[in-house]
Amino acid sequence: MDGILPLWKERGMTSHDCVFKLRKILHTKKVGHGGTLDPDVDGVLPICIGKGTKIIEYLQDSGKTYIGEITLGFSTTTEDASGEVVAQTVIETMPLSVEIDEVMAEMVGTITQIPPMYSAVKVNGKRLYEYAREGLEVERPQRQAEIHYFKRTSEPVAKEGTISWRFEVGCGKGTYVRTLAVDTGAKLGYEAHMSDLTRVGSGGFIAKECFTLQDVTDLMEKEDQSFLLPIERAVTMFERLDISDEQYRVVRNGGFLVIDELALADASGMIALFHQERLISIYAQHPTKQAFLKPVKVLRND
């Protein structure tokens, strides 16, 4: 069994929980996920199976899309609704929608984030959430995040001393949306947290394509593998190059290709090599021999 399963992860489960359960459901050990989702977050979780596990890193590096809610009024230990309240702000005047929009627009582009204490980032060989559970505070490394867009999708609503609104964000690898919510509140002058979050897109997969664990279980009982998508779906973000039989003989042995002999629009990024409609390898420009492409990952050579 080889391919990609676009899974809809339900709340209350870790990404690893999903992988563990799928190994039993699918009767295979070669299962991995293409991007961690927190237990309190539901949404799109691409699952790689068999030879599909070779392209996990590309799914993890791909862009993500989320919808959620930001709440002003108090912040929490985890920066989301599951944490304990650590600070509060009395809201006397509701911020104008235009003020919120201006602040959210300021967050678009390359921004600097400090990961939350309840995160998997390692400091001195130990994950931040392990320090947090011990009640320890450590210096956290700054990280760069790419925010493609960040927009408000509902009017702000006041309730019990808080103000909330819905949002949608498109972002790159490693973005902490919880921190994005907190930083948005700080720019507006309030304590804040992310009160709700769902991932609706990841690795080129969207919500309507997804299957739940129960869906997969039911289909497997019918010996139906319609939930399994081809590995080729995982590299749609790369430039595609269809190679000839002669070039395939070179590629299957890990050989170099001369860029000037190829019909490429752009040779600067990752290039997905196809032969007879099958994804064979991922190639990229040689770091020192600029006239050549070299293999980065061989997926099939049979």
Alpha carbon 262 to chain centroid, angstroms: 32
Instruction: Give which of 235, 260, 280 is closest to 48, Cα–Cα.
Output: 235
Please give the DSSP secondary-structure letter assigned to residue 52: G
Length of the chain: 302
Residue found under tokens 């130990």:
126
Residue found under tokens 């994950």:
127
Q: Which residues touch 30 (CB under 8 Å, ≥6 apart)?
A: 49, 50, 53
Which parts of the chain are beta strand (E)?
3-9, 31-33, 42-49, 64-72, 74-76, 85-88, 109-113, 122-123, 126-127, 143-152, 157-159, 162-171, 192-202, 205-206, 239-242, 257-258, 271-275, 278-285, 292-298
Residues labelled as active-site residues: 38
Give the span between the Cα atoms of 146 and 23, in whole angstroms: 33
Answer for the pair 28, 50: CB distance below 8 angstroms, yes or no.
yes
Answer for the pair 188, 89: CB distance below 8 angstroms, yes or no.
no
